[in-house]
Structure 1
Amino acid sequence: MRVQGKMFLGLAVFILASAIVYGYWSKEPAGTTALFLAFGLSVMIGFYLAFTARRADTGAQDNENADVADDAGEVGFFSPHSWQPLSLAIGGALAFLGVIFGWWLLYFSAPMLLIGLYGWVFEYYRGENQTQ
């Protein structure tokens, strides 16, 4: 992760220089603000990756003499199947349609969102997927 952290911090320096030059030459506030916000996002991601790299084990991407096969193996745990994201998607779609057509749609979307969120958070605490 060190490499990715350095890449994002380098990108942040480039975006900062671009924002300063663009703001000086164009005198246009919207684009200048967008570039400064992109600089801030790049700095946040870069510092997060650099901070995480100190606590995590050194990966194969940080070793110059590593092979591709050195990074093989289990990456993490991913849920094999879940219906909860579908409930969240339907609830979110209804909520955004509520902004367009009327706030009354939020009465239908809020329960869908809450049921989906509750189900996703507690998915592995009940039913057939319960962990020991």
Structure 2
Amino acid sequence: MKLQGKMFVGLAVFMLAAAIVYGFWSKEAAGTTALFMGFALCTMIGFYLAFTARRADTGAQDREDADIADDAGELGFFSPHSWQPLALAVGGSLAFLGIIFGWWLMFFAAPVILIGIYGWVFEYYRGENRTQ
């Protein structure tokens, strides 16, 4: 993770330099703001990765003498397929369409969003994990 943190910090430095040069050269506010926001996002991700690398074990990518096979094996738990993101996408789409066409559409979007959030939060409390 140290390598990824250094990569994002390097990208943040580049984005800052690009934002300054672009801002002075073009005097255009939208692009300059977008580049400064990109700098801020890269800085946050780089800081998070550097902070996490100090607390986590050294991975194979952080060692010079590591082989590809050193990083093999189980990487963690990943969720199986889920329909809840689709429900949230449909609800979010309806909500944004409500901003465009009329706030009355929010009455249809809110239940879909709430059902999607509820389903995603309690997705693993079914079957053998369910409480009585």
**TM-score, scaled to structure 2:** 0.89
Give CA deviations for 1:4-54 in whole Å, capped at 9, x if unaligned: 100111111111111112222222222221111111111111001100111
**Deviation, structure 1 residue 79:** 2.0
* Structure 2 portions without partners, runs of 5+: none
Residues in 2 aligned to 1:131 and 1:5: alpha-carbon distance in whole angstroms = 39
- Identity of counterpart residues, as a percentage? 76
Residues in 1 aligned to 2:4 and 2:31: alpha-carbon distance in whole angstroms = 26
**Deviation, structure 1 residue 100:** 2.4
Is the CA contact (8 Å cut-off) linking 1:12 and 1:40 kept in structure 2?
A: yes
Give CA deviations for 1:43-91 in whole Å, capped at 9, x if unaligned: 1110011001111111111111111111111122122232322221221
Distance 1:86 1:30, change over 3 A: closer
Aligned to 1:26: 26
**TM-score, scaled to structure 1:** 0.89
Aligned to 2:50: 50
Residues in 1 aligned to 2:106 and 2:59: alpha-carbon distance in whole angstroms = 45
Aligned to 2:127: 128
Residues in 2 aligned to 1:20 and 1:41: alpha-carbon distance in whole angstroms = 16
Residues in 1 aligned to 2:30 and 2:44: alpha-carbon distance in whole angstroms = 21
Q: Which runs of 4+ in 1 moved over 6 A?
A: none
Aligned to 1:75: 75
Residues in 1 aligned to 2:104 and 2:128: alpha-carbon distance in whole angstroms = 36
Is the CA contact (8 Å cut-off) linking 1:59 and 1:71 kept in structure 2?
A: yes
**Deviation, structure 1 residue 131:** 6.8
**Deviation, structure 1 residue 129:** 5.5
How many positions carry a matched residue from both structures?
Answer: 131
